[in-house]
Amino acid sequence: MIFAVMAALLVTMVLALVRAFLGPDLYNRILAINMFGTKTVLFVAVAGFLFGRPDFLDIGILYALVNFVAVVAVLRLTHHDEPATGRNGDGHS
């Protein structure tokens, strides 16, 4: 059963990479990379359970934190501000 879970995680990781390379726009690609990171954390946790290595969970948690910070940083770098509008939002002051 654990091997089936690992196989399913590998399939979803490959599909996330395909989405990251072929995504229609930048935000879909960033979301796919975030999903790939989440699936990687799950894969590391399942591998740790399979091999009897509970210290893999520490590695997974560290990777989850790095993944979160990296995605937030990329989103901040790619954020484009809207043009400045007036007080009522219609472009008139």
- CB within 8 A of 23, min separation 6: which ones? 29, 31, 32
pLDDT tens string 4-57: 999 999 999 999 999 999 989 988 999 999 999 999 999 999 999 999 999 999
Closest CA to 44 of 17, 70, 13, 15: 13
Q: What pLDDT is recorded for position 86?
A: 56
Q: How many angstroms separate the CA atoms of 35 and 66, rounded?
A: 13
Q: How many angstroms separate the CA atoms of 12 and 53, rounded?
A: 24
pLDDT tens string 81-90: 555 565 665 5
Q: What pLDDT is recorded for position 87?
A: 61
